[in-house]
């Protein structure tokens, strides 16, 4: 792994206040991501993937209970910045976001071109509208939207084209890090493959760093250099892509991989019995233990994050003796 770390997250926590108590959506997540790499975050719905993205981007709802930890981006500790500094210096300047199901969130009464230009104008990247439109054209060309679509409205575009427009909005300010939250989950297979192709090409051309959040493991392999499995607000396993897809370590990752239907090879599908724990008052000890086939007495205590020989990190008692 290269030493050029772009993003370093340490012990990030995001708790929400709810009527039933404190919900620990992100509970002590740490990872680092090198420049020009793509990391996928996988996990079941409700495991805190999207909350993690929002915590990194500081796009928070009003009912935040705790928001702590450190996020180093490109050498700056961004958690120390105040709201205005963060908005001016980081969000959409250094990192941008493609939210989930965003293609339905385009403004129906603003032309596509003007909408893509919006982040540029708001963040004062450009002096004139004309310059902005030049950058918009560039961004749309990158994602493969025909330029005559600039004067159209969102409802005149198909789902795939709208999703491309949303990706263009994330690219137009030339960020270094793009967080993609389920960018293709609502799309058809062929469209999805086309957009994945575009994302790969863009990453090579612009030397971007991606974080891809998805629950679709087969599709996630399209972009992954590295992978992170989340379970109940915590990181279960962090690994290079080859390790995760070929030989997952954590019992949860193993079961997750076994439940992925594959097209070409014959395998008996397994499923994970039970359901994830509530994030309000999660169980003591390992959070996966109640569903885990390999649990033993130690699992009543919270397992440490074990760093393995090849740099993989597994939060499981099974591997404590095998640390490097």
Partner 1 sequence: MMESKQNGTLLQVRDLHTWFELRKFGFLRIGFVRAVDGVNFDLEEGEAFAIVGESGCGKSTLARTVLGLYKPTQGEVLFQGRSLQELGKAYHSQVGYVQQDPYGALPPFMSVKRILEEPLIINKALPSKEARLARIEEVLEEVRLIPVKDIIGKFPHMLSGGQQQRVVIARATILKPKLIVADEPVSMLDASVRVEILKLLRELQEAHRLGVIYITHDLSTIRYFSERIFVMYAAKFVEKAKVHELIHNPLHPYTQALLEALPDPEPENAETFRNVPPGEPPSLVRPPQGCRFHPRCTQVIQGLCDQQVPPEFEPEPEHFVSCWLYRDGQGN
Q: φ and ψ at 146, to 5 degrees?
A: -60, 140
CA–CA distance, 241 with 225 (Å, rounded to integer): 5
**Does residue 134 interact with partner 1 by CB under 8 A?**
no
**Does residue 307 interact with partner 1 by CB under 8 A?**
no
3-state class (DSSP) for residue 244 = helix
CB-nearer residue toward partner 1: 51 or 220:
220
**Does residue 165 interact with partner 1 by CB under 8 A?**
no
CB of 188 to partner 1, least distance (A): 4
**Does residue 205 interact with partner 1 by CB under 8 A?**
no
The encoded tokens of residue 51 equal: 């909350």
CB of 227 to partner 1, least distance (A): 9
| Among 84-92, 118-126, 196-204, 230-238, the segment contacting partner 1 (CB under 8 A) | 196-204
CA–CA distance, 302 with 297 (Å, rounded to integer): 12
Q: What residues have CB less than 8 Å from 167, skipping those under 6 apart?
A: 98, 143, 180, 183, 195, 198, 199
3-state class (DSSP) for residue 231 = strand
Report 240-259 residues binding partner 1 (CB under 8 A).
241-242, 244-246, 255-257, 259
CB of 115 to partner 1, least distance (A): 21
**Does residue 219 interact with partner 1 by CB under 8 A?**
yes
Q: What residues have CB less than 8 Å from 278, skipping those under 6 apart?
A: none
**Does residue 1 interact with partner 1 by CB under 8 A?**
no
- Helix (H) or strand (E) run with residue 204 in it: helix 189-206
CA–CA distance, 136 with 128 (Å, rounded to integer): 13
| Among 68-76, 82-90, 117-125, 263-271, the segment contacting partner 1 (CB under 8 A) | 263-271
**Does residue 229 interact with partner 1 by CB under 8 A?**
no
Q: Which of 156, 188, 294, 300 binds partner 1 (CB under 8 A)?
A: 188
**Does residue 221 interact with partner 1 by CB under 8 A?**
yes
Give the DSSP letter of residue 209: E
Taking alpha carbons only, the member of 243, 237, 186 closest to residue 43 is: 237
Q: Which of 19, 148, 155, 263 binds partner 1 (CB under 8 A)?
A: 263
37 within 8 A of 225, measured Cβ to Cβ: yes
In our burial notation (b when 16+ CB lie closer than 10 A, e otherwise), range 284-300 reads ebbbbbebbeebeeebe
Report 267-296 residues binding partner 1 (CB under 8 A).
269-272, 275
Report 30-69 residues binding partner 1 (CB under 8 A).
38, 44-45
| Among 6-14, 80-88, 219-227, 315-323, the segment contacting partner 1 (CB under 8 A) | 219-227
CA–CA distance, 293 with 92 (Å, rounded to integer): 43
CB-nearer residue toward partner 1: 79 or 140:
140
CB of 272 to partner 1, least distance (A): 4
User: Which residues contact partner 1 (rule: CB under 8 A)?
Assistant: 38, 44-45, 144, 158, 160, 188-194, 196-197, 200-201, 215-225, 241-242, 244-246, 255-257, 259-265, 269-272, 275
């Amino acid at each position: 792994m290269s030493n050029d770390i772009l993003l370093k997250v340490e012990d990030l926590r995001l708790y929400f206040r709810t009527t039933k108590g404190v919900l620990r959506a992100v509970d002590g997540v740490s990872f680092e991501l090198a420049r020009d790499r793509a990391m996928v975050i996988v996990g079941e719905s409700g495991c805190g993937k999207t909350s993690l993205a929002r915590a990194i981007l500081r796009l928070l709802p009003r009912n935040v209970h705790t928001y702590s930890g450190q996020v180093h981006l490109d050498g700056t500790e961004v958690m120390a910045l105040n709201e205005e500094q963060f908005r001016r210096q980081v969000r959409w300047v250094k990192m941008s976001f493609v939210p989930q199901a965003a293609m339905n969130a385009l403004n129906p009464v603003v032309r596509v071109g003007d909408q893509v230009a919006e982040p540029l104008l708001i963040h004062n990247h450009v002096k004139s509208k004309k310059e902005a439109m030049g950058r918009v054209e560039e961004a749309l060309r990158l994602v493969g939207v025909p330029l005559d679509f600039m004067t159209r409205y969102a409802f005149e575009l198909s789902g795939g084209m709208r999703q491309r427009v949303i990706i263009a909005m994330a690219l137009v300010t030339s960020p270094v890090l793009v967080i993609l939250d389920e960018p293709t989950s609502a799309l058809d297979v062929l469209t999805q493959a086309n957009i994945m192709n575009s994302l790969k090409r863009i990453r090579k051309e612009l030397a971007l760093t991606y974080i891809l959040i998805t629950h679709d493991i087969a599709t996630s392999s399209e972009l992954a250099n590295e992978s992170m499995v989340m379970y109940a607000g915590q990181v279960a396993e962090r690994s290079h892509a080859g390790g995760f897809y070929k030989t997952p370590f954590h019992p949860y990752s193993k079961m997750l991989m076994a439940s992925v239907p594959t097209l070409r090879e014959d395998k008996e599908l397994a499923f994970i019995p039970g359901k994830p724990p509530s994030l309000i008052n999660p169980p003591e000890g390992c959070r996966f233990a109640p569903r885990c086939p390999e649990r033993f007495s130690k699992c009543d205590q919270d397992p440490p994050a074990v760093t393995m020989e090849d740099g993989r990190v597994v939060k499981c008692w099974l591997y404590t003796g095998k640390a490097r």
